[in-house]
Each structure stands twice: as structure tokens, then as C-alpha cells.
Amino acid sequence: MLEEVEIAFISENDLDEVYQIEIECFGEDAYPRWVFRYLLENSNSIFLKASTNNLIVGFIVGICSRRRCHLYTIDVRKAYRRRNIGSMLLEAFEREAIKRNVELVILQVEVNNLPALNLYLKRGYKIVKRIKNYYGLGRDAYEACKNL
């Protein structure tokens, strides 16, 4: 049974741990470390973490502008997957977006990333198009949106 999960905003002190999770989740496809500093410092970003027992087990980040929010990534440590953490993060992200008067969340997801795709579809996201080679040659993405 998973201990209580707390959702909170990321702080400067969390960046090393967040970056380690990004590497664990995406390896050589991970965002560079400087991207996370930029996202932390950007006043238009929503950057949340899920923690249990003082351990960050996942995070979500996106940037909002003009009533739209582009969701960049949801990362959950492998040992904590399939415990509803991604769904908790996405729900908290959407609540924060609504507070900022966001009307639409947009994201891209690799077509073969079935766990993420299923999460988004379950949460009401609709696939609007397929983007060829979005993640590199032969690695297409779906673009999905949700009206809040």
C-alpha cells in the first residue's frame, strides 16, 4: 500500500532529485538539466511534485500562456508506477491551470507510450493529430487536448 502522497510546487532544492527522475524515465531522451531550472524560474509554469516520506516520486510541468497550457512531461519513478500518482499529478496540474484561467491543455505523447496515452484518454484528453517524427526519425507523437 502506498503511503500518503503529497502534491506541492517544486522548489530550487528539488531540482537535483527531479532531474534524476527525468533521467530514470527518459534516459538519453531526457530534457537537459537547464530546462528544469528555466521551468522553475518561469512565472508562467506549473511545476508540481508528488512526494511520499520526503521522497519525490514524480512530477509534472507545463507552461501556460493566453488561456492555454502546454504540458511538457509527467514523470513517475519506476518503483512507484501503477499507483495512481500520474493521475494525481495531472488532476492537480489541471486544478492549478483552472486557477490561472486556462481553458485548454495541449500535450504530445509518443504513439507507443501506452501507459501515458491511457492516462490522458482516461482523464478526458482527445487526440487531435499525429505528428510524424516528433521524437526523432520513426518516432511519431499524438497531440492531445482537453478543454478545462
Complete domains list, the chain, with CATH: 6-105 (3.40.630.30)
Is pLDDT at 138 greater than 70 in this prediction?
A: yes
Collapse the DSSP code of 71 into the 3-class scheme (helix H, G, I; strand E, B; otherwise coil) and give the result: strand
Helices marked H in 1-148 — which ranges?
15-26, 33-41, 85-99, 114-122
Q: Lay out the sheet containing 126-131: strands in order across.
A: 6-9, 45-52, 55-65, 68-76, 104-110, 141-147, 126-131
Tell me the three cell numbers of residue 49: 511534485
User: What predicted TM-score, i.e. pTM, was given to this entire model?
Assistant: 0.92
Q: What is the pLDDT of residues 39-91, one digit of tens each?
A: 999 999 999 999 998 899 999 999 999 899 999 999 999 999 989 999 999 99
**DSSP 8-state secondary structure symbol assigned to residue 139:** -
Please tell me the total number of residues recorded for the chain in this structure: 148
pLDDT of 104 reads 97
Q: Taking CA 111 as the corner, what is the angle to CA 145 and CA 21, rounded to the nearest 5 degrees? A: 85
Q: pLDDT category, 2, cuts 50, 70, 90?
A: low
